[in-house]
Structure 1
């Protein structure tokens, strides 16, 4: 099965996605947890594509997937017919029929959702078990811990009628192992999990796999780390890179000192410089915040293995790079430059654009030629 985009010359940039590395990262996290690892494949599998990501992970043995929206769940179901697919964003009013039609599992996080789901099940509809989300810190979605404990004490009622198959919570600061909120969440969820004996539980996200004294329970939910993001900021990345991005130089020119470059002339050459323009811009999902101006640093690219800074504003379809220091012959029309890869990992690219690697991944555009390897 091929998920590649055809006709390479029709695209100005190529996104290479290593599905073997994706699977390797999933296996590493499962081994580290010592229990079953699911996979969070929301946001089009963090930008790499739900269908290829779920296909590769399901073939490797992944049995539980987590998405944000029903539409994403429908896509995952088509390529993983036997898996359990959870919808993290909860039960939208009136959506129960779609869950039944596509055999999807809602993550219920309020009494209203519990009651609507339980009522739907009582009609005799054939549905998969739901998950129960108890909020232990985020104040975003989920039942209050006290509400979860009260429901657990009921021998019948909404919990029994809803057929809960998993209880879960979500870390707020697991990437910062020194944050005392982690220990509070671990303790709060331990109480919740104990109140539902015999029910599988899930707490660990990507960074949670690397927290001391954090139980793995029966299922973990890695996301960012699967795709090569560093779950241990400030330390060496234990994950394999999954994505690489290359663009093509379409034109070069030499400018003299004092020349203003790009929209509104926001960067001025301090000396004679060689510039190269590539076919990639913010319409391709590369942040405009990566612009390099006279007063702010920004993103960069690898040209002939040398890091070369962007100059001027990232525009809709184009970026200008200062290739003065690139090796002779490497910065010519038609030559490739690397935007993600090698030392320009997701964290470095995110920092250059004054954002985070998560945003870089999930913004990957649809105008790239996509090349999948390792499946």
Structure 2
């Protein structure tokens, strides 16, 4: 259930100046704020609202294929019919299990609604209503543009600022912020002169592990180990904004709550309607290419990360990065090994 690898096409379908790109960017902001948007596909148009905070438009709820499969339905985007009650619909979207009265296969609008919710870091479930009932000024976008947006955005990273930063790990790094067309950043921490075969760590942001020192994961330990090696040997750390394997901090905390009920890290993500790993490595591949690298020694235990970069034309020689095993992260690490194929 890992998110499919992004295409490595050099010319994305959308560009930041396209009206469709701009419409999707604005729609993401509306969904993040809990306001409905209209999604069009051909002659069909529906109003879509996030279940976690937006108005309930009807008893029709668009859910992802991952969530549908978890509930025992066909693993495809699905529209569920239920009482137009927030608690009932939220249970269908987020509870460990839920009772469903009826359902039907969802189309491109249902898929686009879920993708918009993901990009807004909402739960990927949206109530659907008649577009004719949209309030004046409600934003609209096309389903096809929504589904093309993520891969198009990855190719818009550009360096915007750089400065030397002394590291506690014992070296001075040149730190460069790469910003994309909607303001998201990838931070490149470079020590020494890097060339072919450079030591590289692509690290996903983890507030709980990197900043709070959480013992539930090994992220903070891996970050410190990687910085120590780069400080002593030279190399690059790319810090990417893909919290919780790409589902965002709020959804990661929801997944933690499900783990406390007995689910492992994979099933908790799937139960919320996500792939077990939603991260995309196209932006990281684009930044490495701009830094002049086509071949790297990649500090990772995750074969999917190496495959994601290789799909962008970056040749990877995996280098293990093993953090400490503790009573708090033992189950988490065992799940990464047994269910996600990590080399631990």
State the TM-score, normalizing by the size of structure 1. 0.25
Higher-Rg member (1/2): 1
